[in-house]
Amino acid sequence: MWIKTNDNVLVIAGEDRGTRGKVLRVVKATGKVVVEHVNRVYRHVRRSQRNPQGGRLSVEMPIQQSNVALICQACGAAVRVGVRMLPDGSKERFCKKCGAANGQIAPSKSKKSQQAQ
């Protein structure tokens, strides 16, 4: 799963298709992401000190990560993401359309071994 928190994505399937939003949370165990203003449901809440009025709260629920596409920062289009190794041994995400880098995934192995010591 190459989608991370704070990425801008486009919903490509489901009821909210065509909606752009920011990823709020990634649930790796289930392969789902929570995108702001997408897949909103009403949650009925009792009155409490935390929520003194009670009632219905509108919250975002997770959607399958296969139903979203990353929006490239360089070309602004919804794209597929590839992974490539850099000469220093680190991995980065890149746009399959324009080839622009979209952030580092893993640091180089030499840096990991230095941090462990």
The number of distinct structural domains making up the chain is 2
What is the average pLDDT value for the chain, to the nearest integer? Answer: 91
Q: What domain range is 110 assigned to?
A: 81-117
Burial class (CB in 10 A: 0-12, 13-18, 19+), 17: exposed
pLDDT digits (tens, 9 = 90+) for 1-19: 789 999 999 999 999 999 9
The answer to whether residue 86 is domain-embedded is yes
pLDDT digits (tens, 9 = 90+) for 58-88: 999 999 999 999 999 999 999 999 999 999 9
CA angle 37-41-45, nearest 5°? Answer: 120
- 8 shares its domain with 49: yes
Strands 8-11 and 78-79, bridge-based pairing: unpaired
Residue 110 — very low, low, confident or very high, per pLDDT cuts 50/70/90? confident
The answer to whether residue 76 is domain-embedded is no
Strands 78-79 and 20-27, bridge-based pairing: unpaired
- 4 shares its domain with 22: yes
Cα 94 off chain centre by: 15
The SS3 of residue 30 is: coil
- 66 shares its domain with 96: no
